[in-house]
Amino acid sequence: MFTLRIRFGYIGLFLLIFSAKFKDTLTSYAPSLGLSTTSTTVSPTNLLPYFDFDVPRNITVTVGQTGFLHCRVERLTDKDVLWIRKRDLHILTAGSITYTSDQRFQVIRPENSGNWTLQIKFPQLRDSGIYECQINTEPKMSLFYTFNVIELKANIVGPPDLYVKTGSDINLTCKISQGPHELGNIFWYKGNEIIDTTTNQNEIDDPNRIIVENDWKDGLTSRLKIQKAMPGDTGNYTCVPTIAKSTSVYVHVIRGEHPAAMQHNSAPKGGESWCTRTLLLFILVLVCKQMFLLNFHVNSR
């Protein structure tokens, strides 16, 4: 039994020595055999940055409303993020530095954040187009954004000049079609002064004489109602939205009827319509008779 243990001990020692020698031999011959004996360690510096694609990339704003293009980059390390306008390949920003004299463009990046947001103040129609968020790797990595700038304009229903009888109601309706986001509010002006519904005007003792109602269903609609119109209500009324171009109408408060553009819903009376048609028919008969007599007189010569 003791002899068997010694034999197994010699065998184990032999295998240990053989394994060490084989490893040394493999290491010395590895370069000539095209083998690598070094291990590769994956570290953050060996990994490329990447974009977060879960951000809006088709942005629509109205003229004058600040736009934001959000670009999020993970694992940026020592690389920089650039914003480029594709229309003219102009570099707007690189890192936190702005490379354009147009001060409306600025990059916003909170400290230790992967968000690189391009801010465009007071956008105009000409600012619409493609913008590129680029990482200066080799090769370059890019993410493209579509920036749309649209112009909304208010519309007052009816003609540009409105005639209202003294004592009647003035009803003005201003509409804005649906925009890319919240449409804000509408304010009414008479001349250069904002219309205040909380104060009485023209010395009429009625706190509800002027009413403004706004409705955000299917866009934005604002209705201005002035009860018991007086000559002092005559003037230029302007609908001023917060995010759209304003529009105006001139209201004439008159005594008596005006031949056109009166604000009422009454149809012409049946008697007045019959008299008008009869008169026109009589004039037409007279004209035809005169033409017949003239023609007969000429042919008789």
**What confidence tens digit (pLDDT) does each residue in 130-175 have?**
999 999 999 999 999 999 999 888 899 999 999 999 999 999 999 9
2.60.40.10, 3.50.50.60, 3.40.1130.10, 3.40.50.1980: CATH of 155-254: 2.60.40.10
Strand partners for 67: 120
Cα distance between residue 175 and residue 155, in whole Å: 5
> What per-residue confidence (pLDDT) applies to 220?
87
Q: Is the pTM of this model over 0.85?
A: no
Angle, vertex CA 74, rays to CA 73 and CA 75, nearest 5 = 125
Contact 194, 215 (CB under 8 A): no
- Predicted pLDDT at 136: 94
The residue ranking higher by pLDDT, 216 or 258, is 216
Burial class (CB in 10 A: 0-12, 13-18, 19+), 37: exposed
Mean pLDDT of 245-268: 70
The answer on pLDDT for 299 being more than 50 is yes
What is the model's pLDDT at position 39? Answer: 42
Highest mean pLDDT among 27-31, 218-222, 257-261: 218-222
Distance CA 297, CA 301 (A): 7
Please tell me what DSSP assigns to residue 96: T
48-150, CATH topology level: Immunoglobulin-like (2.60.40)
- What percent of the chain lies above the pLDDT cut of 70? 67
| CATH topology agreement for domains 48-150 and 155-254 | yes
Q: What is the CB neighbour count within 10 angstroms for residue 187?
A: 16
Q: CA torsion 109→111→113→116, rounded to 10°?
A: 10
Residue 4 confidence (pLDDT): 44
- Map out the domains of the chain as residue ranges: 48-150, 155-254
